[in-house]
Amino acid sequence: MELDALRNRYLAAVLAAGDEAALEEVRLAALGKKGEISAMMATLGKMEPEARKAAGAALNVLKDEIDAALRAKKSALADAALDARLATEWLDVTLPGRPRPRGTIHPVSQVTEEVIAIFADMGFAVAEGPQVESDWHNFDALNIPPEHPARQEHDTFFMARAEGDTRPPHVLRTHTSPVQIRAMEARGAPVRIICPGRVYRMDMDHTHTPMFHQVEGLALGRDISMAHLKWTLEEFCRAFFEVPSVELRFRASHFPFTEPSAEVDIRCSWAGGQLKIGEGDSWLEILGSGMVHPKVLAAGGIDPTQWQGFAFGMGIDRIAMLKYGIPDLRAFFESDLRWLRHYGFSALDMPTVSGGLSR
Ligand code: PHE
C-alpha cells in the first residue's frame, strides 16, 4: 500500500515536471542518494531475511518504474524543445535563390599563376620585393648610376621625402629587377627565382599604363650560360602559349645590368587580323634578358669570379594580351565589370603544367 502511494506520487510528479530542472528535482527526491526510495532501501538490512527478499524485490520494481518514467519524460522534454526550436528556425524553401556574386579571376592574376606554374616546374622559386623601393636597389645596384640616361628613360615616380631629408628619395620600382638584388642578398648563390609583380612608370597612352606587371627571372650557378637562358625561355614560351613549337629571336640589345644583353622576339602571324604564335613572318618583342653583369652580382654580395647566370624581365600584361587576344592594355585596369566578366577566368581554372594551363 505504502509503495503504491509512493509510485502514484512520483509518477504524477514526473508528469507534472515542466522542464529538465524540475525533472531532476523529482529524480533526486526519489532516487538520489538521500532520496525517499534510497532511504527505504537502506532499511532492508534490518529486516528478517524473508521479508527483506519480498520488500527488496518490490522496491527494485518501483525504482525501475520511476527511472523509466523519468527517462521517457526527459526525452519528451527534449523533443518538445527541438520542436520549439524548429518552429522558430523555419525556412521557406520556395523562396527564389539568392544570386551568387559573379566574381572572376582577372587575366593578370590568371597569367601570373600560369607563369608561376611553368617556372616552378623548372625549379624556380617565387621571390618578392617591395613596390616602394630604395633608389639603390632600383638603380645603383643594377649598375645604373645617378647620371645614367636610363634613369630618365624610366620615367620614375619618386616618393615624397620628409623635410630636411637629403637622402635620395625612394621610388616606385620601375621594374622587377631590384628583386634580383634582394634575392641575391637573401639567398646567395646558386639561386633560381622568378618575381612577378607590379611596376610603375610615368607613362600613359594606348599601349602604356602608369602601373603594369612584370615577371623577373634570375638563375645563378657556376657555369650558367646564354644557352641555358635560351632553352629556359623557349621551354617557357612553348608551355605558356600552348603550341608545339615556338621560335624565338635573340636580338643584341643593351641593359646596364646584363652583359651581353638580348631582347627576345617571338615568331607570329597576324593573318586575318588573328594573332598566331609560332608561325608566320612577324616578330613580337616579349622580353629583355642577358647575362647578369658582374657589377650587379657584386652589389648583391655574390663573387663574380665564382658565379654567373642569366636574368630576364617580361611583361605579364603583354603576354596575357597575346595569349588571350585582349586588344587594349588600358582596359586591364579600368575595372569595367563587362570587361572583367568577358575576359575573367573561373575561380576553378587553376593552371597546372600537368593538368593544362588553360581550357
Ligand atoms: N628590367 C628590364 C626592363 O624593365 C628587363 C630586363 C630584366 C632585362 C632582366 C634584362 C634582364 O625593361
345 Cβ below 6 A of ligand 1: no
Q: Is the bond preceding 351 in cis, omega lying within 30 degrees of 0?
A: no
177 closest CA partner among 253, 287, 266? 287
138 Cβ below 6 A of ligand 1: no
129 CA from centroid of ligand 1 (Å): 15
**DSSP per-residue letters across 153-199:** HTTPPBPP--TT--SPPPEE-SSSTHHHHHHHHHH-SSEEEEEEEEE
Is pTM beyond 0.75? Reply is: no
* Closest residue to atom 6 of ligand 1, CA basis: 313
CB atoms within 10 A of CB 114: 24
* Closest residue to atom 4 of ligand 1, CA basis: 175
How far is Cα 11 from Cα 23, in angstroms, rounded to an integer? 11
313 Cβ below 6 A of ligand 1: yes
Q: Which segments of the chain does DSSP mark as H helices, in order?
A: 2-16, 20-31, 36-43, 49-88, 107-121, 135-138, 149-153, 178-187, 226-241, 294-299, 316-324, 337-343
pLDDT recorded at residue 354: 72
141 Cβ below 6 A of ligand 1: no
252 CA from centroid of ligand 1 (Å): 13
CB atoms within 10 A of CB 299: 20
180 CA from centroid of ligand 1 (Å): 10
357 CA from centroid of ligand 1 (Å): 25
pLDDT recorded at residue 224: 98
pLDDT recorded at residue 1: 65
Which residues of the chain, if any, have pLDDT below 50?
A: none
Contacts of 311 (CB under 8 A, 6+ apart): 177, 180, 216, 217, 218, 219, 257, 258, 289, 290, 291, 292
258 Cβ below 6 A of ligand 1: yes
DSSP category for residue 222 = S
Which pLDDT tens digit goes with each residue over 153-196? 778 999 999 899 998 899 999 999 999 999 999 999 999 999 99
For ligand 1, mutation pick of 139, 257, 292 (most atoms within 8 Å of CB):
257
56 closest CA partner among 73, 40, 32, 78? 40
pLDDT recorded at residue 51: 86
Q: What are the cell numbers at 99?
A: 544570386
177 Cβ below 6 A of ligand 1: yes
Q: Considering the domain 107-343 in this protein, what is its CATH number?
A: 3.30.930.10
289 Cβ below 6 A of ligand 1: yes
**DSSP per-residue letters across 97-119:** PPPPP---B-HHHHHHHHHHHHH
Angle, alpha carbons 148-149-153 (nearest 5°) = 130
286 CA from centroid of ligand 1 (Å): 11
pLDDT recorded at residue 359: 53
324 CA from centroid of ligand 1 (Å): 23
Strands (E), 201-353: 211-221, 248-255, 258-269, 276-277, 282-292, 308-315
How far is Cα 313 from Cα 261, in angstroms, rounded to an integer? 11
| Cα distance between the two ends of the chain | 86
